[in-house]
Every structure is written in C-alpha cells, then in structure tokens.
Amino acid sequence: MSLVGHSLGAHAAGFCERMPMDPEFPAGLNGSYDIVGRDVRTGHAYTGTLALDHGREVYTLARTVQGRTVHGEAWMESCGVDRIRTLVVRYDAEPVIRMACSLGADGGNYYRVSCRTVQGGNDSPGLEAWYQRP
C-alpha cells in the first residue's frame, strides 16, 4: 500500500482528514534539518538543508538543494480507520513536489522524517529523508 497515494490522493475520498494546526503537536518539529533524497525525475541522489517553522494554519518550509531554495507548506493528516498521522508536504517547485512523511526520532529525541515523493505526472515515487539538527 502506497502511503503517498493514500495520503495525497485519497484525501478527497475521505481516507485522510486534515488536522487543525497545533504548534504543540508534534512537539519540537520546527527547526533545521539536513536532507538527503532521490530525485523522482532523474533518479539522482541529492543533499541539502531544510528550515521548518509553524505558521498560523500550516508549517512553512524552505528547502535548499544545490544552492536553489524552494518554499513550501506542510500539515498533519489523520488517515484510515487507525487514524495514522502523516505529515503532508507541498513544495512550490515546477512541477509541484508532493510528499507524505512518517515521523520518527533518534535516541536524542531529534526527528528523523522519511518521505515518499511524487512530482508532476510521474508515477515513480522518490524519497526524501530529514535529519533534525541539534
């Protein structure tokens, strides 16, 4: 089962429900991250940085890869009968990059975020992982 397909595509079908913005949940998500990924269009690996902050209704993102900064937004969704919480991301790139992410943590309570990505009409998923900086 593809989390990206359900979280990003099934929202209208009622599979996922957008949660109201809560700067306290998940606690400590805002901050700076190192990122690594695989470009969905080229298959090439990349590295970069991400700044994440909570806004009034969404998280705001600034992602820098190879010196190019792309802005975006993110929000939490609750999906399926088990109400699995997923971070949904939308980067304002051309074409738009959409992601569904699961949240994890390391032993020092820093977030490790794992995302499946889709871009434009490409059905091949990419991957992006975020490592929160202390």
- What pLDDT, on the 0 to 100 scale, is given for residue 8? 52
- What pLDDT, on the 0 to 100 scale, is given for residue 1? 36
Residue 17: count other Cβ atoms within 10 Å of its Cβ.
Answer: 12
pTM assigned to the model: 0.83
Give tens-digit pLDDT for 3-14. 444 445 444 457
Cα separations in angstroms, 21 against 29, 36, 126: 13, 27, 27
The DSSP output letter for 4 is H
Domains of the chain, by residue range, sit at 3-90+102-132
- The CATH label, of 2.60.40, 3.30.420, 2.40.128, 2.70.98, for the domain at 3-90+102-132 is 2.40.128
d(CA 123, CA 134): 35
8 A C-beta contact, residue 102 and residue 130: no
- What pLDDT, on the 0 to 100 scale, is given for residue 22? 82
Give tens-digit pLDDT for 39-48. 888 889 999 9
Give tens-digit pLDDT for 83-118. 889 999 999 988 899 999 999 988 788 999 999 998
